[in-house]
Amino acid sequence: MLTPAQPRLLADRHGLPFAQPSQPEVPGTVSRAYFVGDCYALPVATDEDGVDRFAKEARIIPLAREAGVHTPALLAEGLLEGSPPRPYMVLERDLGDNLGTLWRRGREPAVRDEWHRA
């Protein structure tokens, strides 16, 4: 979990404007997403099992965008200090559905095959 000071530290670290998180964290399968204002999402890996899947997601985002898939841009990534350190991403905030939601609805995005190859 992020401490109250960490969203500002991450914004400063990456030269992004800061806004207080606009809603509580959203738990996911491998991460918790924190929304900073209306512009950025800060997903943070939650456990050791999810770190590899989280890293895979960070690799697939640029490939998906290059293939023309509408997905939020990966603006930065790094390690969040702590014990143990956790990977995080800074993403553009997109107010649409996430991949998990699309898959559950049976609408598999074109990036699915790339995901399995990455």
Q: Does residue 1 sit within a domain?
A: no
pLDDT tens string 20-50: 665 556 666 677 777 777 788 888 887 777 7
Tell me the C-alpha distance between 6 and 112, whole Å. Answer: 32
Q: What is the pLDDT of residues 59-103, one digit of tens each?
A: 999 998 888 888 889 999 988 887 778 888 999 876 665 556 665
Beta bridge partners of 3: none
What pLDDT was estimated at residue 74?
93
**Is there a domain that residue 109 lies in?**
yes
Residue 96 maps to which CATH number? 3.30.200.20
Query: Could you tell me the residue range of the domain that residue 34 belongs to?
Result: 6-117
CA distance 53 to 62: 15
Whether 106 shows a pLDDT value over 70: the answer reads no
**Considering its fold, how many domains does the chain have in total?**
1
What does the alpha-carbon distance between residue 68 and residue 111 come to, in Å, rounded to a whole number?
9
Given this model, what pLDDT does residue 112 score? Answer: 57
Identity of residue 85: P
